[in-house]
Amino acid sequence: MVAAARALETHRPDALARDVHAEHFVRASPASAHWPVRPEQVSRGEADPLWGRLGRYFGLRTRVLDDFLLREAYGGARQVVLLGAGLDTRALRLDWPPGRTVYEIDQEEVLAFKAAVLDGLPPERRAPRSPGTTRVTIAVDLRLDWGGALTGAGFDPAAPTAWLAEGLLLYLPAAAERRLVATVDALGAAGSALAYEVKHGVEAAAVRDSSVYREARERIGVDLLALFDGEPRPDTAADLAGRGWTTTVRTPFHFTRHHGRGPRPEPRDALAANRWVFAHKPRG
């Protein structure tokens, strides 16, 4: 679903982010092969709750987190760790400074599907990789102990790192989220940074019956509410602050105003509880 949204964003004339690989992932899976990947394939356009508004949300989120990672990389982070990398191709499509290593962590079947699609693309359909950038994939379940797999793949805990958990924590059990934060803190050297997405509070019943959730379930068979972990969520920003990190919390609408496009608040809004958190571990 996120890959489809990125494909749609890529082909918009005012695109905030571009991923030339995204539509190929969508077309390669039988379950999503008929989904729209270009704006003209969405009959209701921006008024479509699923591919218009939610699609714009994912496009905006992609841009904001792209900017975060590049800012940290050009500011001195030598390593990038994508926690729950999914079908994103930041390691390939972003203009990294030389000498960076991008680690992609996800489950084995996700990375295998991703590799099969990318390997099958002709060279002219691939984004040119930044020279000197190394991409390392690590197959591990983030609900388990993943730190050893990361260091075993060459990750250097002494080097500043940009960490990203995009669209991940909503689906993890609370205990796994707490372990993830503890691992990032333990392996994150001074000067490291982390960005992630959470939902603030408990959504009302009217919100849970909003058009975004309903249409995702009815039109493409994705029950987002069933995928979200149902446990009370830990206060991860407070956890990080207690470990000495500084945190900044923003709503998506903050970035809509900044970029001049993206979703805006509406009644019974499924996006109103979403928060994007940016945390930094001070240098010694």
pLDDT in tens, 85-123: 999 999 999 999 999 999 999 999 999 999 999 999 988
Residues 6+ apart with CB under 8 A from 267: none
In DSSP notation, 229-248 reads: --SPPP-HHHHHHHTT-EEE
Global pTM value: 0.96
pLDDT band at 125 (very low <50, low <70, confident <90, very high): confident
C-beta separation of 161 from 190 below 8 A: no
Alpha helix ranges (H) inside 29-107: 55-74, 90-93
d(CA 133, CA 21): 18
C-beta separation of 154 from 187 below 8 A: no
d(CA 181, CA 193): 12
d(CA 205, CA 219): 21
Q: Are strands 134-139 and 161-165 parallel, antiparallel or unpaired?
A: unpaired
Number of CB atoms found within 10 A of residue 105's CB: 24
Phi, psi of 23 (to 5 degrees): -65, -25
d(CA 253, CA 279): 19
- Among the CATH numbers 1.20.58.760, 3.30.70.600, 3.40.50.150, 2.60.40.420, which is that of 73-280? 3.40.50.150
**Poorest-confidence range of 37-51, 69-83, 85-99, 114-128?**
114-128
Task: Report residue 3 as tokens.
Answer: 């890959």
C-beta separation of 262 from 255 below 8 A: yes
pLDDT band at 218 (very low <50, low <70, confident <90, very high): very high
Rg (CA), the chain: 18
Domain limits, the chain: 73-280
**In the predicted model, what is the mean pLDDT of residues 186-207?**
92
Please give the mean pLDDT across all residues of the chain: 95
Residue closest to 46 by CA, chosen among 276, 264, 277, 284: 264
